[in-house]
Amino acid sequence: MMRRLLLVLVALGMVSVWGLTPGLADAGITGGSFSDVPRSHPAYSAVQNLLSRGILVPTTSGQFMGDQPLLRYDAAVWLDRAIKNIEAKISASTDLTPRISTLENQVRSLSSDVSKLSSDLSTLSARVNALQQSVGQGGEVAQKAQLGVVLGLTGVILGLAALAWLIFF
């Protein structure tokens, strides 16, 4: 029991030292922080931004060493990382291959739809022509039907008149 308690206390001590010591937990890892750049420093946010983008990398001791002179070699490495970072973002945003493929598929689909609509339009045009011819012939049929109805009604009226004449006279 005592041994467990001692192990827990040692583990808690290690975690607190590890977590509270800047640069120890994230030494050499981009996205962490530098142990020698205080939050109150005017360049802190710029240094953190460059660190998070992978342009600056902490030393193995987790330091930035901002008070040391900048060597041209270091400047070349930082600029190279910055340019590669920018190029990667540009190429990722300008890769048009998926967009072109999607547009090609849409054009093929539209072409198929236009062909189908053209075929449907031809069929519809043929039906309209057939209906026009039918209506032209149907006009004569309608006139004959109207004449038949008029003659039929005239006959009924004359028949009723004749019946009325016989009944009342």
**Segment 111-117 mean pLDDT:** 85
User: Would 118 be classed as within a structural domain?
Assistant: no
pLDDT given at position 76: 92
Any idea what DSSP says for residue 34? Answer: -
SS3 content of the chain, % helix, strand, coil (to 5): 75, 0, 25
- For 52, the domain range is 2-94
Q: What is the pTM of this model?
A: 0.38
pLDDT in tens, 23-79: 433 333 444 678 899 999 999 999 999 999 888 988 888 889 888 998 999 899 999
Amino acid 73 reads: Y
Can you tell me the distance from the alpha carbon of 23 to that of 62, in angstroms, rounded to the nearest whole number? 5
User: Would 126 be classed as within a structural domain?
Assistant: no
User: Would 150 be classed as within a structural domain?
Assistant: no
User: Would 143 be classed as within a structural domain?
Assistant: no
pLDDT in tens, 83-107: 998 888 887 777 677 778 888 888 8
CB 35 within 8 A of CB 62: yes
User: Would 162 be classed as within a structural domain?
Assistant: no
User: Would 56 be classed as within a structural domain?
Assistant: yes
| Domain count for the chain | 1
